[in-house]
Amino acid sequence: MKNDSLIHWHSMFMGVALLAAARSKDARKRNGACIVGPDNKISGVGYNGLPRGCDDHDEHYWQDDDSDPLNSRHSYIVHAEQNAILNCTSLPLHGSTIYATQYPCPRCVQSIIQVGIKRVVYLDKKAHQERVNAASEKMLADAGVEIESLQALQPESAEWSAELAQFIETSTTNR
């Protein structure tokens, strides 16, 4: 008998992004991203973390001094969206959609545009990063890349994703 009880495509792809986020070692924020082709095939997944070979246990990488690039975590962490692009298993990414757990920063937006991704679907948007988000938004608009919140696109998927995020948050303890 056929089972009609299944999740929406948007839930699946944001769910994959959230599962990837659960692998992140960043105690401040765990982000994930999933790139999907027009045929609903996943071509790349990533989460925020240090480049390969850089030791996660080296506290130097996680320092918070933004006045000194050598001692700032921002010099070292590869963003989730960037990792999803770098990890992609099929090219080109023209016409793809990227599902991101967070509204992408301008640097990631540059890469998103340059590889030909045509749509961004995000889960959360940090209100206090209004100016940064506006910079991302301007580039995306000028480049003709659509950006929409999962909440606006598919409210049920957004609700489902928020529950999954909560479950991951409470159930991941270094396993």
Ligand X SMILES: O=c1[nH]c(=O)n([C@H]2C[C@H](O)[C@@H](COP(=O)(O)O)O2)cc1CO
Number of chain residues interacting with ligand X (CB under 6 A): 13
Q: Compare residues 83 and 154 and give the one whose CB is closer to Zn ion.
A: 83
Residue 133 binds ligand X (CB under 6 A): no
Cβ-in-10-Å burial (0-12, 13-18, 19+) of 29 comes to: middle
Rounded Cα distance, 55 and 18, in Å: 23
Residues between 52 and 91 that touch Zn ion (CB under 5 A)? 79
- Residue 81 or 164: the one with the smaller Cβ distance to ligand X is 81
| Binding flag, residue 105, ligand X (CB under 6 A) | yes
Which residue type sits at 18? L
Backbone angles phi, psi at 11, to 5 degrees: -65, -40
Stretch that binds ligand X, among 104-112, 140-148, 150-158, 160-168 (CB under 6 A): 104-112
Question: Using CB under 6 A, which of 14, 16, 35, 80 touches ligand X?
Answer: 80
Contact residue for Zn ion among 19, 50, 105, 153 (CB under 5 A):
105
- Complex with Zn ion: residue 9 or 62, whichever CB lies closer: 62
Place of tokens 């000194």: 68
Peptide linkage before 69 cis (omega within 30 of 0): no
The packing angle between helices 9-21 and 155-171, to 10°, is 20
